[in-house]
Amino acid sequence: MLAALALTSCIKGDDTYKDLLPVQPGQYIYSYVTTQNRISMQAANAGMRMAILAAEVAKQRPENEDVTVATVKDDNGKEIYKELFSSETKIEEVAEGYKLTFKKESKMPDGFYLEGSLLVKTNGASELADGAEWSVEMDSEFKLYSYSNYGGEAAQINMLGGTTLLKDNGDGSYTIHISRIAASVEGSNAGSSSWSTSLDGLIVRPKDEDVTLAYSSCKGKAFKVDGTASGPSLYGNGNIYDTGQIGMSYTVTDGLYIGTQIVSGTQECEFTSSSDYNTAAYPAPDVRYVFSFDESSRTYSYRIYYNGYTYPKG
């Protein structure tokens, strides 16, 4: 189900499909690896969205001392947390920091449905600023749901633990560290993942130096992302319900994101051990996607490089 969801945007119905065939195994690798990474980054993404919300509160507080993360609004009078999460998300300020509670009926901006709670521990720093370090903890009932565009029941992903840390680096950038993020698909025999960033973590910074984390400053603006993550995945040898696990690696270099979409830079995705998968189905273990962004039209395109083939050609 997860693979079908991820691949929907990749498969085309016109004559160009024939040109896609040589790189199609690479598309599957890309879909599996990026989906694994997106699942593992859920707590980190929520923590960074809370940082955006908290920064906007700090920006507006001189004009409105009663504003909170649950009440702060944008220029159109909309509550910002509903834009960053969903209308059904509940946000509370607690002693440790911020508590987020999700209802599975509400779709998140990245396409997943969440259930359960996350606790953003701020270590006494209401903003992710001035060298602050935050952590994000998943409660025991935290889950993700993913629906295939082909219909059917949702895949339930149980989030089983791991560590998520966020740090303001003091130079306009932020570091995301995740360690041993464990997730498994309900009904799967593959076991749980154990996904971690490298020691350097993922480095995130606004593209433009004058952009801050405050929502009114960064909405619609581009962010640079660089880093690597890897580990045993929640995918089995053939798909998410097979036994065994596929080891995977994900790297983004010079990534430029607007919202949840990469528009420029390179993503490299790899199956890390030939004993984990069918080498006949996947003649090469790695694939590279190179994205390009047209500033004038605000559109992006990409090329796929797999096993000596390129799509689109030229």
Q: What is the 3-state secondary structure (H, E, C) of 101-162?
A: EECCCCECCCCCEEEEEEEEECCCCCCCCCCCEEEEEECCCCEEEECCCCCCCCEEEEEEEE
First CA to last CA distance, the chain: 33
Q: Please give the Cα distance from 52 to 115 (Å, whole number).
A: 22
Q: Which of the two residues, 238 and 85, has the higher pLDDT score?
A: 85
Lowest-confidence range among 62-66, 68-72, 77-81, 229-233? 62-66
Q: Determine the pLDDT at residue 14.
A: 52
Lowest-confidence range among 19-23, 147-151, 262-266? 147-151
Average pLDDT over residues 30-38: 95
How much is the CA Rg of the chain, to the nearest whole Å?
A: 20
CB of 232 closer than 8 Å to CB of 272: no
Q: Determine the pLDDT at residue 190.
A: 73
Q: Residues 205-233: pLDDT tens digits?
A: 999 999 999 999 999 999 999 999 999 99
Q: Please give the Cα distance from 312 to 220 (Å, whole number).
A: 28
Average pLDDT over residues 250-263: 95
Q: Determine the pLDDT at residue 279.
A: 84
Q: Which of the two residues, 259 and 242, has the higher pLDDT score?
A: 259
236: confidence class by pLDDT, cuts 50, 70, 90:
confident
Q: Please give the Cα distance from 135 to 123 (Å, whole number).
A: 8
Question: Where would I find the H helices in the chain?
Answer: 2-7, 17-20, 24-40, 42-60, 80-84, 215-218
Q: Residues 47-62: pLDDT tens digits?
A: 999 999 999 999 999 9
Question: Global pTM?
Answer: 0.90
12: confidence class by pLDDT, cuts 50, 70, 90:
very low
Q: Determine the pLDDT at residue 11.
A: 42
Average pLDDT over residues 135-142: 96
Q: Please give the Cα distance from 225 to 33 (Å, whole number).
A: 17
Q: Please give the Cα distance from 176 to 204 (Å, whole number).
A: 8
160: confidence class by pLDDT, cuts 50, 70, 90:
very high
What H or E segment, with its residue span, contains residue 161? Answer: strand 155-168
Average pLDDT over residues 12-40: 86
Question: Where would I find the H helices in 134-214?
Answer: none
* Helix (H/G/I), strand (E/B), else coil: 83: helix
Q: Please give the Cα distance from 234 to 257 (Å, whole number).
A: 25
Q: Please give the Cα distance from 303 to 307 (Å, whole number).
A: 13
